[in-house]
Amino acid sequence: MEAVGLKLPDQLSEDELLRLPATWEEYIALVDEAPYTIQFLNGELIMSQPTDTHEISVGMLIWLFNNMYIDQPDYRVLGSNVKIAIPGYDSDFNADASVVRGPSEYGTTTAGAVSKARIKNPEIVVEVLSKSTRKFDMGEKLSYYKLIPSLQHILLIDQTRPFASVYSRTGVPDEWLNHDYRTLDSVVRLGTVELPMEAIYRKIVF
């Protein structure tokens, strides 16, 4: 697979996170063609391959959020195909799920055109941790998510054991509170949203 002189592997293993230097133009040329997830941050392609267990977890979380917001038309639950832009940075992230309140604010392409494939104003983002993405999701990606002004909650879910970590913005600039949940009888809270751990892991066999 080639675009703008950059060659990518045809496939990735499930425990592999591949990072390659690239321009934004090279990223745009490749992102819709690769058979795995490609993200972009500060001149690097960041690539990974989700597993079926990962996607089961994502599907359950999207279902739970949709149930929470079913009677609230201002809220919409999005899957991972919509990119999330970080203000002030050349970036394109895939959250496993996100929640937007009100109309979407769309990102732009390098040519300045509005792109409905990119949003700038999620209220909640969700990441399901995997062996390959855990370090990136809990490190760099988490720190950049916190730069999004609209974002109020970041939910990290482990797919290999009962564990959820929530970061919630406070009223103090740049201050976030972190709460971890480690048992199936816990209830994960993101503001007024309550997600029982038992429901999150209902389809997962450890």
Q: Where are the domains of the chain?
A: 2-47, 51-78+120-200
The DSSP-derived string for 137-166 is: IIIIIHHHHTT-TT--EEEEEESSSS-EEE
| Element at 27 (helix H, strand E) | helix 24-30
Q: What is the pLDDT along the chain (206 residues), one digit of tens a residue?
A: 344 467 888 888 877 899 999 998 899 888 888 889 999 999 999 999 998 999 999 999 999 999 999 999 999 999 999 999 998 888 899 999 999 999 999 987 666 778 888 999 999 999 999 989 999 999 999 999 999 999 999 999 999 999 999 999 999 999 999 999 999 999 999 999 999 999 999 988 88
Placement of tokens 């609209």 in the chain: 150
Cβ–Cβ < 8 Å for 119, 83: yes
Give the chain's length. Answer: 206
Total Cβ atoms within 10 A of residue 175 = 10
Query: Nearest-CA neighbor of 92 among 105, 77, 107, 79?
Result: 107
The whole-model pTM stands at 0.93
Cβ–Cβ < 8 Å for 18, 47: yes
